[in-house]
Structure 1
Amino acid sequence: MGRSSPEMTPPHSDIEKGCLEFEHGLSSFQKESFTIFKVPHRLREVNEKAYEPNVISVGPYHYRKPHLARMEGFKKRQFENIVEKTHLGLHQFREAMKHLEGKTRKCYEQPLHPDLEVEEKFVDMMVYDGCFVVQLIWIGHLYDFRELGQHVSYDMRYDLLLLENQLPFFVLLELYRMIIPNPGPRGHLSQLAAFALTFFGRHPIYVPENTSIRHLLQLVHDPSQEIRVAGTEVEYCFPKNKFQSSRSLIPSATELEDAGIHFFGVSIQNMQNQEKGKMNMFDIEFDNDTKELKIPTLKVDHSTERTFRNYMAYEQLWGVRKYYVDYVLFMDKLINTGKDVELLRKSGIIDNWLGDDEAVTKIFNKLGYFVYYDTEAFYYEDIADRVNKHCKRDWNKWKAKLKKDYFNTPWSPISFLAGLLLLLITIVQTIFSLLSYYQQRQENYRSQSIIVAFFWCFGLLIRGLTSALWEFLNFRPHLVTVL
């Protein structure tokens, strides 16, 4: 993935081996240690700002950073609204969080900010950050933040899904139980999860009360919400067939077009209406009959890179389905240059809000730096295999080139047929000329000569008409220019 130099990306065999060892060792380690990771150094150094919150800090990793200080006072003012609504005081919220302080602290990599070594400071961070997030999800909108500026409302939703900007979900759940004591028949966990999914634009689902959710990023990450139920393991499910090499996954978009493959972008909503089911951005399809590669439209703006990077970093650190890693790998192979982006944009696959095709190219070409991926479990393996089989047939390339170079206008087929007819008439006329020559030497077949003469004249007439049509078609562009 990405156009990285050899020193930046490990050899393919090392990637595969390192990925398997990393995930195997991590699975047992995670059960006894933190569940909210810091972004690994090699990922962070590619684009550090992609993992930094812009307006709000949640949890200890970005605690008391100067550019986030403005929101701290706002959190406390929002907490006063909760106190007024619930008739519970700060002391009661602190007591509830003290019981979870030790468990919560273990969820993070150490060391933390020096102030958070003090229990009271850590507990207050849990109370104010947790209550703010719960109330925000419960209200379901960001209208209350308009007074802080439009950029705050825009950035906050993205900040809450950063890998390092998370509180354990059990903290949010406990605070939600205090704020909303009577959730109804659905239960606290299912209701809070549904509110969270709706807030982040996902389809709300019913979540059993014994479901284990680590944090908001994990809940929102999986488009099908295959979250884990306590005491059970979710199978890490991918195609089992081995893929030859991710480095030669599929050709670029312009190369695929030259091989006769057509691109078609469609909105997710339209796909849902057509298929009558739940669709998402990862539902890429290839039609063997029409040779059409259908890809859901992707809006690319200034938040796209940071969103993708945090989801991909999460997938690197947990044994979950690597939707984003494999999607970026697939798109990265399609996009080599700005010409590829231009083709995908004109096909409706990329909705470019950056205004520059080269900027989109740079985003996808760098997203894969230092990202480990498993070539034996590639999500789009079947599509890549069928696309490559199509491209390996030379006839498909010749046919596409013929259509592109000689049949690219409505007049091209007419010109081709006229030329073909002229060639056939010439061949027929030549044959009759030879017959006439031999038959003139045979006086006993005078009647046949009359027939030959008839066809000779007919051939001259057709040839003249065809030549006139041919000249008209060739002269037409010049005539249009003059007019």
Structure 2
Amino acid sequence: MANQETFSSQQRIRSQLLESLEKKITSNEDNFEGLKTYKQNWSSFIYRIPVETRKVDERAYTPSVVSIGPLHRGSEHLKAMEEDKLSYMQYLFLHFTDAAERLERCVDAMFDNESYARTWYAELKIRVDNAESARVKFAEMMLIDGCFILELLFKNYIRSTNPTIRDPILDNYSMTAAVRHDLMRLENQIPFFVLDTLFNLTVASLLKDYEISLKGCIFLFFGGMIGLQRIPNPNPVNPIHILDLLHRCYWPSGDLNYPSATSQSKFEYSATQLDLAGVKFKAAVSEINNLFKVNFRIDHSCFHVFTSGCFEIPPFSITSSTEPFLRNLIAMEEFYFDGRFRYFTSHAFLMDKLINTAKDVDLLVQAGVIRNYLGSSEEVAHLYNNICNNVYVGGFHFNEPCNQVTDYCNLFWPRCVARLNRDYFGNPWTGLSVFAAIFIFVLSSLQTIYAILAYYGKN
């Protein structure tokens, strides 16, 4: 409570913030020093989701409890969280004995970069508002939202080392899940350089004795969204915002072969159809847990007379977070990338092809490809049958293995196996009747051979 006396109320912090900003408003010069690292992102913006895409699933793109950035600020159902964000900003500065001076430096940094931060929002770049009150409110919003996120990330990390630490959001599992979902929505982002700047002015000094960065704190908070044991790319360069950071951390490492933006696949088989054709699924686990390392191979047996196909797909988890996370990643890929980095769109498109019914899901679950924490297999099938609606796939990253599967299924032997499975082994009774017929045929053949041998033996 002694620390709270330093800042007696939330209103005092707010008034001090506005007073500091008003001192800066006399200068209209934009300070871009220190932002050269992020200069390449000048043409990267935060957009609203198109209406047609939003119609498919409104809830996947709209924040439910907290607004971050200007696009949903002022929404009636999010106003209750505004006071909580101010409280989190207060808690953040109460960690420091020089709270007033540190707040002043944060205010200066936000106002210095206010004009640059505006350009990251498509709507604000088109509608430039240089009014003093608008600039003050925007810089204030960046500061409050950024400090809220940083205090939440800091508390989450500290709780991982000391579970006795209490927090009003993190103590409530449902609220934590809702906030986590909101912070990964494409429309609910602030530029990453804002978080990075505030982190270096605040939380970095609190974590100086720990080997963890801002990106590490974010990964810890959002861990398990897809279910990989390890992150393939834990230090992506120059992310645009939190969602982009989560996207880039799953990029394959090393040399990347980008598909053509117009490349399409002739792949049209479901998992059960491939299983009937003799193609088996296997969970492909590599040391780096590359979610996008999909392979197909042909195994030979009996002196290369018989063959079988093996479709290797890295395992992944499906939880209640999967659908909104994937939808926002796919929407971001549509905006930012020209087919080169549409990994999640390609992965969703592949799963949409493989999964038509609950039986396809069950087959992939049995193979260890899918870990289903969502519930019924029907829910998973519904997820993937709808997730690519109104989505342009562009460059499909799995063209090569999918075309190999198609070519294999078009060969004579796999087609014969598929036809036999479909026509004679589609259900247990048909299969039993076929085996009975074969058994009777073998017995009859043996009886005939025995009779012929007996006849010639007598003569």
TM-score by length of 2: 0.72
Q: Distance in 1 between matches of 2:397 and 2:95?
A: 47
Q: Which residue of 1 aligns with 2:35?
A: none
SS state at 1:281 partner: coil
Of 388, 410, 428 in structure 2, the residue corresponding to residue 368 of structure 1 is 388
Of 442, 445, 458 in structure 2, the residue corresponding to residue 452 of structure 1 is 458
Distance apart, 1:123 and its partner CA: 1.5
SS state at 1:292 partner: strand
Are the equivalent residues in 2 in contact too, given 1:194–1:204 (CA < 8 A)?
no
Are the equivalent residues in 2 in contact too, given 1:116–1:122 (CA < 8 A)?
no
SS state at 2:213 partner: helix
Counterpart amino acid of residue 279 in structure 2: I
Q: Which residue of 2 aligns with 1:22?
A: none
Alignment of 1:126 onto 2:142: yes
Q: Distance in 2 between matches of 1:186 and 1:217?
A: 28
Q: CA offsets, 1:244-266, max 9 Å, x none?
A: x44x4231122112211123347
Superposed, 1:308-387 pairs within 5 Å as: 308-319=326-337, 320-374=340-394, 377-387=395-405
Q: Which residue of 2 aligns with 1:425?
A: 446
Relative to structure 1, the CA distance from residue 314 to residue 395 in structure 2 (aligned partners, 3 Å threshold; closer, same or farther) is same
Q: CA offsets, 1:204-232, max 9 Å, x none?
A: 96759xx42211111110244579xxxxx
Counterpart amino acid of residue 388 in structure 1: T
Q: Distance in 2 between matches of 1:280 and 1:97?
A: 37
Q: Which residue of 1 aligns with 2:245?
A: 219
Gaps of 5+ in 1: 1-29, 228-233, 437-450, 454-483
Q: Distance in 2 between matches of 1:310 and 1:113?
A: 27
Q: Distance in 2 between matches of 1:36 and 1:116?
A: 23
Distance apart, 1:429 and its partner CA: 3.5
Q: Which residue of 1 aligns with 2:218?
A: 196
Relative to structure 1, the CA distance from residue 226 to residue 280 in structure 2 (aligned partners, 3 Å threshold; closer, same or farther) is closer
SS state at 2:69 partner: coil
Distance apart, 1:92 and its partner CA: 3.8
Gaps of 5+ in 2: 1-39, 160-165, 224-229, 300-307
Q: Which residue of 2 aligns with 1:390?
A: 408
Of 63, 76, 81 in structure 2, the residue corresponding to residue 71 of structure 1 is 81
Are the equivalent residues in 2 in contact too, given 1:286–1:294 (CA < 8 A)?
yes
User: Which structure has more RCO (C-alpha within 8 Å, separation ≥ 6)?
Assistant: 1
Relative to structure 1, the CA distance from residue 259 to residue 359 in structure 2 (aligned partners, 3 Å threshold; closer, same or farther) is same
Alignment of 1:261 onto 2:282: no
Counterpart amino acid of residue 88 in structure 1: A
Bigger drift between 335-344 and 310-319 goes to 335-344
Counterpart amino acid of residue 99 in structure 2: L
Give the superposed CA RMSD. 3.8
Are the equivalent residues in 1 in contact too, given 2:232–2:249 (CA < 8 A)?
no
Q: CA offsets, 1:138-157, max 9 Å, x none?
A: 34358623577431111222
Superposed, 1:101-140 pairs within 5 Å as: 101-111=114-124, 118-140=134-156
Q: Distance in 1 between matches of 2:280 and 2:274?
A: 8
Q: Distance in 2 between matches of 1:148 and 1:197?
A: 19
Q: Distance in 1 between matches of 2:293 and 2:132?
A: 44
Q: CA offsets, 1:31-61, max 9 Å, x none?
A: 6555222222222222221111122211111
Distance apart, 1:68 and its partner CA: 1.9
Relative to structure 1, the CA distance from residue 34 to residue 148 in structure 2 (aligned partners, 3 Å threshold; closer, same or farther) is same
Relative to structure 1, the CA distance from residue 178 to residue 144 in structure 2 (aligned partners, 3 Å threshold; closer, same or farther) is same
TM-score by length of 1: 0.69
Distance apart, 1:178 and its partner CA: 0.9
Distance apart, 1:321 and its partner CA: 0.8
Distance apart, 1:167 and its partner CA: 1.0
Q: Distance in 1 between matches of 2:413 and 2:251?
A: 44
Q: Which residue of 2 aligns with 1:279?
A: 289
Distance apart, 1:381 and its partner CA: 1.2
Distance apart, 1:73 and its partner CA: 1.7
SS state at 1:312 partner: helix
Bigger drift between 167-176 and 32-41 goes to 32-41
Of 76, 99, 103 in structure 2, the residue corresponding to residue 88 of structure 1 is 99
Q: Distance in 1 between matches of 2:86 and 2:170?
A: 16
Counterpart amino acid of residue 168 in structure 2: F
Distance apart, 1:348 and its partner CA: 3.6
Distance apart, 1:302 and its partner CA: 3.1
SS state at 1:176 partner: helix
Figure out how many residues of one structure are paired with residues of the other and give that number.
388
Counterpart amino acid of residue 309 in structure 1: R
SS state at 1:398 partner: helix
SS state at 1:69 partner: helix
Q: Distance in 1 between matches of 2:343 and 2:204?
A: 36
Q: Distance in 2 between matches of 1:199 and 1:225?
A: 19
Query: Larger Cα Rg: Structure 1 or Structure 2?
Result: 1
Q: Which residue of 2 aligns with 1:164?
A: 187
Q: Percent identity?
A: 30
Relative to structure 1, the CA distance from residue 140 to residue 255 in structure 2 (aligned partners, 3 Å threshold; closer, same or farther) is same
Are the equivalent residues in 1 in contact too, given 2:295–2:313 (CA < 8 A)?
yes
Are the equivalent residues in 2 in contact too, given 1:36–1:163 (CA < 8 A)?
yes
Are the equivalent residues in 1 in contact too, given 2:117–2:191 (CA < 8 A)?
yes
Relative to structure 1, the CA distance from residue 204 to residue 336 in structure 2 (aligned partners, 3 Å threshold; closer, same or farther) is closer
Counterpart amino acid of residue 41 in structure 1: V
Q: Distance in 2 between matches of 1:399 and 1:236?
A: 36
Of 110, 134, 141 in structure 2, the residue corresponding to residue 97 of structure 1 is 110
Q: Distance in 2 between matches of 1:359 and 1:423?
A: 51
Relative to structure 1, the CA distance from residue 204 to residue 414 in structure 2 (aligned partners, 3 Å threshold; closer, same or farther) is closer
Q: Which has the higher helix share?
A: 1
Counterpart amino acid of residue 190 in structure 2: L
Q: CA offsets, 1:189-216, max 9 Å, x none?
A: x9222332333226396759xx422111
